[in-house]
Structure 1
Amino acid sequence: MKKIVIIATSLFISLSMQAQDRPQPKPGPAPKINIGKPQTFELKNGLKVLVVENDKLPRVSYNLTIDNAPYAEGAKKGVADLTSSLIGNGTKTISKDAFNEEIDFLGASINFGSNGAYASGLSKYSTRIMELMADGALNPVFTQEEFDKEKAKLIEGLKAEEKSVPSIANRVQKVLAYGKNHPNGEYLSEETINKVTLEDVNQNYTTYFNPQNAYLVIVGDVKFAEVKANVEKLFGTWKKGVAPQVSYSAPKDVQYTQINFVDAPNAVQSEIAAVHITNLKMTDKDYFAALVANQILGGDFNSYLNMNLREAHGWTYGARSGLRGNKYTSNFSASTQVRNAVTDSAVVEILKEIKRIRTEKVSDETLKNVKAGYIGKFVMDIEKPATVARYALQTKTQGLPADFYENYIKNINAVTADDVLRVSKKYFLADNLRIVIVSKAGDVLPGLEKLNIPIFYFDKYGNKVEKPEEKKVSADVTAKSVLEKYIAAIGGKKAVSDVKTLSVKGAGAFQGMTVEYTKKSSNTNKINETLSMMGQSMSKVFNGTKGYQAGGGQKMDFSEEENKQMKFHSNPIPELSMLEKTDIKLNGIENINGKDAYVIQDGESKFCYDVESGLKVAEISTVEAQGQKMTINQPFSDYKEIKGVKFPHKTAINIGVEIELIMSEIKVNEGVSEADFQ
């Protein structure tokens, strides 16, 4: 299955290119805008209602937000998640199924959470949509049966992300930046979820789901008088209450820039994020200058970070930075994902670009283009009802002036190069950065140690640990002995040599879509390998001498080097061919999925074999697609015997997302003909 990773990569990228960022055309002069002013009223229970009449389309949206201060859940982290999952699963007046059926019948959308609800649909059904939303939000029914189901799903989701490097990186960044006891730093675990009871959910709802800090924003084809009457009728009985106010110690940045490293043995690329705390508020005089500065540094396609790491070096599909204004503590982050081999170089370039924006004035041309692009997006966004609702809500919850968004374009245009330089020095802290890196220690630590940046080590939950130790290979172990042990483990030299042809069929799923995989190969170094998804397929065919890749109606012949590689790896048991090679080498021992494995290097590919069992557990390949290099980790497991030889029946393709493939059919010495390799 050596080449499936390249097929999967090509197919995945082909299907996902539409989602990739593209440079936007330069917009013309910014138009004057007029954001609809909301009409407001307040119920006796404290609910604040904002109504924006807009009859451009026969639609309406309702956004109920409870603006409580963040709170920590401690040993029972998961209460709010489970509360969110259970709200909307039926009410005291209507069953879950009947509730969902009526929503579908109306063609509406209604979602609930522990901090509010959202609904939208055609305005002719506006009254009924509001009734359903109000009923679901104010009269939920929490049953033990539904609680147990949602709890199981939450735990299952955690298990699915257990080995996800992006998930680990996201968790550790928050833990280190804020601390485990801060609302922004605590994280879900199976242990905390299992401590949550149905009574905890009921208590959470009673404590925090109340109208004192609640805002209902209504935007669309409605009449204020009618809406007001309906809101008073449906929400007037909502029992008044006040959520508790809890204070937390302010998180602090590190005293000096440092690398916080997490070893992820299964990582095929590094997650890098340079982070620090920020207290930027939307009401600050620096707010608009800070927004523009962030756009220049890493906010859009043409930013310093993206043009450096993606366009100039081809190390990543995207590099970005984020800086948000918020009345609560938040953080700045400059982040990217790169293949392990260039991790240290990427760190150097990220620091270089942060230093650049802090010390060099941005050019007039760049500043002009960034402001024009930002304003263009702003103008497009205000055509969306959801944006109008968000702006109306933020004006209230963030304490903004009533004309904040009317003056938005003027304030963006007023930002100067001097302003950008000034706020960059204030909000991008070059000397107090946590450079959080989650990657494979054996691949990246030697390079990182040469940067002369202090390195501290943490586990995947943010606990401090010792530096990962490199394991030594016994002197009597060689690449050849590892391959021979593998051949013995799967059936022995004679049985393996008797495998003349191999036919494999498998399938998996990706975001609800079926992925089908087939492979036919022969011991004359011929192969036909195909991956199909959404009616599209990508194939690689090699006839023993030369081959090609086909997909999307196009066919591309292999290069001389690709033909050479295919010749060695098209054998049904590639290790038989690898035994004949003289340029492979044993790289050492690495931790693969929690177990030690010998790693054999063959060109830019690594083959990993369990130290104890001898079975192959992974192939790690570096491939190039759309001008970018990426590293793919393909695991192998669930070995089963077919005609005296063991074959893995489970594998996966990891290309940013993991697609697990289960082999449903493996045939030895049948189902393959010469026509398959034409």
Structure 2
Amino acid sequence: MKRHALIAVLVLTLGSGFIGAAVPQESHDESISKIERKNRAPVSKDLLHVTLPKATETTLSNGLTVLIMENHRLPLISIQYNISAAGPIFEPAGTPGLAGITAQMLREGTKTRTSVQIADDIARLGASISATSGFGSSAAVINASGLSENFDQWFALTNEILLNPSFPADELNRLKQRLKAQLRQQRANPNFLSNEAFSRAVYGNHPAAVVSSTNASIDAITPDLLSKWHQERYTPQNAILGITGDVKASEIVPKLEKMLAAWKKTDLKEVLPPNPKAVAAKRVFLIDRPNSVQTSIAMGNISIDRRDPDYISLSIANHILGGSSAARLFLNLREEKGYTYGVYSSVTAVKYPGPWRAYGDVRTEVTAGAMTEFFREFQRIRDERVPASELEDAKRSQVASFALSLENPTELLGYAIVRKIYGFPADYWDTYPAKIMAVTADDIQRVTRKYLNPENMQIVAVGDVSKIKPVLEKYGPVEVFDTDGKKVGN
């Protein structure tokens, strides 16, 4: 409960594999991995039955949805504002960073406090207040926490930051300088370069293709532009306020009506951009870093959104293939071959379809071998039924992780917010373990074939192009870029 509430949009790592028309092969319990699994850890065979505490839900007169979860074990309270339609995917063209800078500037001054006074007051109250709006998000999120005994004070300060930011020019200029320094640093980071190129490859014209501001967009940001974005986008009818901790719903709701009376409803509705779709043709994007001793690889394509009925099956497929250091990709490329320190797979599943990807950093001289093993593991999970014991282990691991998360009140609040955002039924999380345990080997094979297609794979590799281009050319048409993102050849 000391930490902030979970962000309302969960981004979970999911599966990797290929779509194909192959006939399912007979299941067997022998893995090609040479890693010995002792299977000595005690594992309960009982199905986890849970009934999560339900949030008290109300809607204020200004349209703000409020979720309250009482927990009186400790004298602490955590809150989260999740403000939809205020995230970067709604930014006007040519202004990448506007939503994120607006969120960052909330704490830098209000109509009655300077940034120093805000920082001093937060420290004096023993509270924590932060605001973020990351690239690819549809929302701005404000988290705050503190003691229940002075809740009225730090919550009032949070609301002042939310509703009355002044966006002082001097603080904005200092932030701009820091952001420009970060831009220079990230251009030297191969993982950033890989993520940037991969996002552009799979998202195309969708706003989520943008993962960073630019010097020009930072220069274009003014206090007036921030104020306009804030006034238009930070609206109560599109927001959720989650509260957990040492509170009583019957007492706090009347307080909220008074404390948030100045936050007026508008006509703004969240209208998402058209959904991105999987790219039809396979392509290879190389980012040249001459003399690099490693190749940063990412590959995949658009898959599903969070509401998709295949979400849980795909999450289990990921756990088996690349979701952890016990997954197939890791055991093969690191433990057996020694190509890398770590290799994984993931998928972003939010309000709009996100990409499946597999990724890892390998030594330059083993780029060819690593690509072979990536594709070998993709082929295996697509063509071979997952052995019963491996599937059972994956499902019980997912259920165990979920069970552990229920000990944290802010996690429970996060689940309540997710359920509200996506319109899941009231018993969604109560039945979540059973849904996991119901996944079959046929489900795993079906979803990996459905969403992972070798014929439209988008591959990104950051490294020494003079050495890796001959290796990658056989995987699709090649385009070469420099570290500034400019195309320099084919």
TM-score of the alignment, normalized to the shorter chain, above 0.5:
yes
**Aligned mates of 1:295, 1:179 — CA distance in 2:** 28
Cα deviation per residue 1:279-334 (whole Å; 9 max; x = unaligned)?
A: 3333x332211111111111122211111111111111211111243221211111
Q: Does 2:65 match 1:48?
A: yes
**Aligned mates of 2:154, 2:42 — CA distance in 1:** 40
Identify which of 196, 210, 214 aligns with 1:189: 214
Question: For the structure 1 residues 379 and 177, does the alpha-carbon distance in structure 2 shift closer, same or farther, using more than 3 Å as the test?
Answer: same
Cα deviation per residue 1:103-125 (whole Å; 9 max; x = unaligned)?
A: 21222211123513101122222
Q: Which amino acid aligns with 2:489?
A: E
Identify which of 143, 167, 178 aligns with 1:118: 143
Identify which of 166, 171, 186 aligns with 2:191: 166
CA contact 2:339–2:366 (8 Å) conserved in 1: yes
Structure 1 unaligned residues grouped into runs of 5+: 1-22, 468-678
* Paired position in structure 2 for 1:251: 276
Pick which of 203-212 and 404-413 moved more: 203-212
Question: For the structure 1 residues 247 and 214, does the alpha-carbon distance in structure 2 shift closer, same or farther, using more than 3 Å as the test?
Answer: closer
Aligned pairs for 1:102-251 within 5 A: 102-113=121-132, 115-179=140-204, 182-185=207-210, 187-243=212-268, 245=270, 248-251=273-276
Aligned length: 443
Q: Which amino acid aligns with 1:466?
A: G
Post-superposition shift, 1:352?
1.5
* Paired position in structure 1 for 2:366: 342
**Aligned mates of 1:179, 1:186 — CA distance in 2:** 12
Q: TM-score, normalised by structure 2?
A: 0.85
Question: For the structure 1 residues 358 and 280, does the alpha-carbon distance in structure 2 shift closer, same or farther, using more than 3 Å as the test?
Answer: farther
Cα deviation per residue 1:80-117 (whole Å; 9 max; x = unaligned)?
A: 22212210123223332222122212222111235131
* Paired position in structure 2 for 1:272: 297
* Paired position in structure 1 for 2:118: 99
Identity among equivalent positions (%) equals: 33
Aligned pairs for 1:350-499 within 5 A: 350-449=374-473, 451=474, 453-460=476-483, 462-467=485-490
Aligned pairs for 1:641-656 within 5 A: none
Q: Which amino acid aligns with 1:67?
A: S
**Aligned mates of 2:467, 2:132 — CA distance in 1:** 42
Q: Which amino acid aligns with 2:128?
A: S
Cα deviation per residue 1:363-404 (whole Å; 9 max; x = unaligned)?
A: 111011111111111111121122112111111111111111
Q: Which amino acid aligns with 1:286?
A: D
**Aligned mates of 2:92, 2:377 — CA distance in 1:** 38
Post-superposition shift, 1:246?
5.4
Pick which of 121-130 and 410-419 moved more: 121-130
Q: Which amino acid aligns with 2:442?
A: D
Q: In proportion to residue count, which structure has more helix?
A: 2
**Aligned mates of 2:327, 2:471 — CA distance in 1:** 26
CA contact 2:238–2:269 (8 Å) conserved in 1: no
CA contact 2:284–2:475 (8 Å) conserved in 1: no
CA contact 1:172–1:460 (8 Å) conserved in 2: no
* Paired position in structure 2 for 1:511: none
Aligned pairs for 1:509-528 within 5 A: none
**Aligned mates of 2:229, 2:256 — CA distance in 1:** 24
Question: For the structure 1 residues 153 and 293, does the alpha-carbon distance in structure 2 shift closer, same or farther, using more than 3 Å as the test?
Answer: same
1:259 counterpart SS class: strand
Which of these two proteins has the greater Rg computed from alpha carbons? 1
**Aligned mates of 2:295, 2:435 — CA distance in 1:** 38
**Aligned mates of 1:316, 1:32 — CA distance in 2:** 39
* Paired position in structure 1 for 2:51: 34
**Aligned mates of 1:222, 1:157 — CA distance in 2:** 40
Structure 2 unaligned residues grouped into runs of 5+: 1-38, 134-139
Instruction: State the structure with bigger RCO (CA 8 A, min sep 6), 1 or 2.
Output: 2
**Aligned mates of 1:322, 1:195 — CA distance in 2:** 35
Post-superposition shift, 1:27?
4.2
Cα deviation per residue 1:16-37 (whole Å; 9 max; x = unaligned)?
A: xxxxxxx995643453223110
Post-superposition shift, 1:50?
0.3
CA contact 1:326–1:398 (8 Å) conserved in 2: no
Identify which of 295, 299, 304 aligns with 2:323: 299
Post-superposition shift, 1:461?
5.1
Aligned pairs for 1:452-601 within 5 A: 453-460=476-483, 462-467=485-490
**Aligned mates of 2:234, 2:224 — CA distance in 1:** 15
Q: TM-score, normalised by structure 1?
A: 0.62
Q: Which amino acid aligns with 1:437?
A: A
Q: Does 2:103 match 1:84?
A: yes
Identify which of 328, 342, 347 aligns with 2:352: 328
Cα deviation per residue 1:317-363 (whole Å; 9 max; x = unaligned)?
A: 21111124322121111111111111121112111111211111101
Post-superposition shift, 1:240?
1.4
Q: Which amino acid aligns with 1:153?
A: R
2:143 counterpart SS class: strand
Q: Does 2:339 match 1:315?
A: yes
RMSD (CA atoms): 2.1
Cα deviation per residue 1:565-607 (whole Å; 9 max; x = unaligned)?
A: xxxxxxxxxxxxxxxxxxxxxxxxxxxxxxxxxxxxxxxxxxx
Q: Which amino acid aligns with 1:406?
A: D
Q: Which amino acid aligns with 2:127?
A: A
CA contact 2:303–2:451 (8 Å) conserved in 1: yes
Question: For the structure 1 residues 84 and 247, does the alpha-carbon distance in structure 2 shift closer, same or farther, using more than 3 Å as the test?
Answer: closer
1:323 counterpart SS class: strand
**Aligned mates of 2:215, 2:264 — CA distance in 1:** 34
